[in-house]
Amino acid sequence: MKTTKYTLALTLTLAATGVSLTPVQAAETLRIGAFVSATGPASFLGDPELKTLELYIKEINAQGGVLGQQVELVHYDDGGSAGKARTYVNRLIGADKVDMIIGGSTTGTTMAAVPLVEQAQVPFISMAGAIVITDPVKKWVFKTPQTDRMAATKVLQDMKARGMTKIGLISGTGGFGRSGHKHTLEVAKEMGIEIVADETYGPQDTDMTAQLTKIKSTPGVQAVFNFGFGQGPAIVTKNYAQLAIDLPLYQSHGVASDKYIELAGDAAEGVRLPASPLLVADTLPETDPQKPVVTAYKAKFEAAYNMPVSTFGAYAYDALMLAVDALERAGSTDKAKVRDALEQTQNYVGVTGVYNLSAQDHMGLDVSSFRLLEVSQGTWKLVE
């Protein structure tokens, strides 16, 4: 009786999995759902994000929770895959019935979640950079990081202030470099800056001398801007010094971590880049409203995990705190009320910047939230 055997085997498998997929119905807790890329190629984003969320949820609960309820974090690891992210968001909405969703370490995973949260009408705060997430504005979607466009704007503004109008651009071919390349070209056009050389390199390239030589020999070039991520920009910086190119070098916020100075060494001296105030927490002026928030986050994270803070973890901190703030102002977990409260957030001081959200702006930061830093004597220095 083969038929029965097939049926039996299939039914048993399905029954077994069906049982374990049934959600645990918790009573009086507030559920915040999260999906991050804690493993896989984007784990440098997802790992500090998840660590931050876990750390602060624990602290919030120790202080009595939100709206008198304990907060439960339901989190999944999408491994950087948009397909998995979509399934997990479905699970957070359909099975876990969360009150709010924080997540999407990358643009791809965020965009996969957007149609689902819009349909289910759950407030959603993303931690990814791309401008498409909040432009055009989507009713239920918010985000905490600045866009790549704003980073490009910050760099080009400084170049213009220093009187440079002809620049060379070198960018990575990964997702980050591509997005940066596109926006740099657009912003440069608007600001009247001419890109006289435009070169690229692959994520695994170990030598960019050829591209840099080409930029060096381009007539009229006054500065070089590198939009990229990971080890690429560090190699560009080293090659730049080896070729003795005597022009100012700018990097993007993608390399704003101590790791970059470590990798590039002396070659990094004088490099400028836009970054979160987190990198210069200790040297921020006392008058800076963000100083207490930034130093507190840095101290707490480093004490708990014994590893340096990253700006990506800060995106998660801001997302969680904006969520808690909105929940408290809404006075209930009613999703529509929480969403309205989130949209009305004004002058909220976070680690990444000061948030002013509105119906037209679901990100709430402006270019000034980026600080312009310069590498000086092996450490970050704030450029006034």
Partner 1 sequence: MMQALKSPRLGGLSALSCVLIILPFTLSNSFQLDVAIQVGIAAIVVVGLNLLVGFAGQISLGHAGFMGMGAYMSAILSGTYGWSPLLALIFAAICVGGLAFLIGGPILRLKGHYLSMATLGLGIIIAIVINTESWLTGGPDGLVVEPLSLFGWALSPFDEYHLLGISLSGTQVWYILIASLLVFAVWLALNIIDSPTGRALRAVHGSEIAAQVVGVNTAHYKVKVFVISAVFASVMGSLSAHYTGFITPNIAGFHHSIELITMVVLGGMASTYGVILGAVILVLLPQVLADLQEFEMLAFGLILMVTMIFMPKGLLPTLLNLLNKPKQKTTSEEAA
| Interacting residue ranges for partner 1, rule: CB under 8 A | 1-7, 9-11, 13-15, 17-18, 20-22, 39, 76-77, 80-84, 86-88, 90-91, 93-95, 107-108, 111-112, 114-115, 119, 130, 132, 173-175, 178-179
Closest CB 15 distance from partner 1, rounded Å: 8
- Residue 332 exposure: Cα atoms within 13 Å on the Cβ side: 5
Residue 170 tokens, joined: 């070198």
Burial (0-12, 13-18, 19+ Cβ within 10 Å), 17 = exposed
Instruction: Say how far apart CA 221 and CA 199 lie, in whole Å.
Output: 13
Closer CB to partner 1, 162 or 189, in the complex: 189
Cβ closest to partner 1, residue 1 vs residue 27? 1
Give least dist CB 290 to partner 1, A.
29
Q: What are phi and psi of 204, to 5 degrees?
A: -100, 5
Work out how close the CB of 322 gets to partner 1 at its nearest, in angstroms, rounded to a whole number: 24
Nearer to partner 1, 69 or 90 (CB): 90
Q: Which two tokens stand for residue 61?
A: 């609960």
Min. distance of Cβ 89 from partner 1 in angstroms? 9
**Which segments of 166-290 does DSSP mark as H helices, in order?**
175-191, 209-216, 232-242, 258-264
**What tokens were used for 11?**
């039914």
The b/e string for 283-310 (b: 16+ C-beta within 10 A; e otherwise) is ebeeebebbebbbebbebbeeebeeebb
CB of 49: closest distance to partner 1 in angstroms?
15
Is the separation of the CB atoms in 259 and 307 below 8 Å?
A: no
Minimum CB distance to partner 1, residue 76 (Å): 5
Nearer to partner 1, 132 or 367 (CB): 132
Nearer to partner 1, 4 or 217 (CB): 4
Measured CA angle at 37 (ends 33, 43), to 5 deg? 140
Question: Shortest gap between Cβ of 2 and partner 1 (angstroms)?
Answer: 5
Shortest distance in whole angstroms from residue 10 CB to partner 1:
5
Smallest separation (angstroms) from partner 1 to the CB of 262: 27
Give the count of alpha carbons within 13 A of 186, CB side only: 12
Tell me how far the alpha carbon of residue 75 is from its chain's centroid: 18
Nearer to partner 1, 16 or 299 (CB): 16
Q: Residue 89 and residue 76: Cα distance in Å, rounded? A: 9
Q: Which is nearer to partner 1, 203 or 308 (CB)?
A: 203
> Given the structure tokens 């070169």, which residue do they identify?
199
* In the complex, minimum distance from the CB of residue 345 to partner 1, in angstroms, rounded to a whole number: 26
Determine if the peptide bond prior to 136 is cis (ω within 30°). yes
The Cα 239–Cα 271 span in angstroms is 13
For helices 43-62 and 291-305, what crossing angle results, to 10°? 100
Closer to partner 1 by Cβ: residue 227 or 297 = 227
If we measure between CA atoms, which residue out of 365, 362, 361, 340 comes closest to residue 350? 365
Nearer to partner 1, 90 or 165 (CB): 90
For the chain, how many residues are written? 384
For residue 345, give the nearest of 327, 332, 333 by alpha carbon. 327
Task: Between 110 and 251, name the residue whose CB sits nearer to partner 1.
Answer: 110
Phi/psi of residue 170, each to 5°?
-130, 125
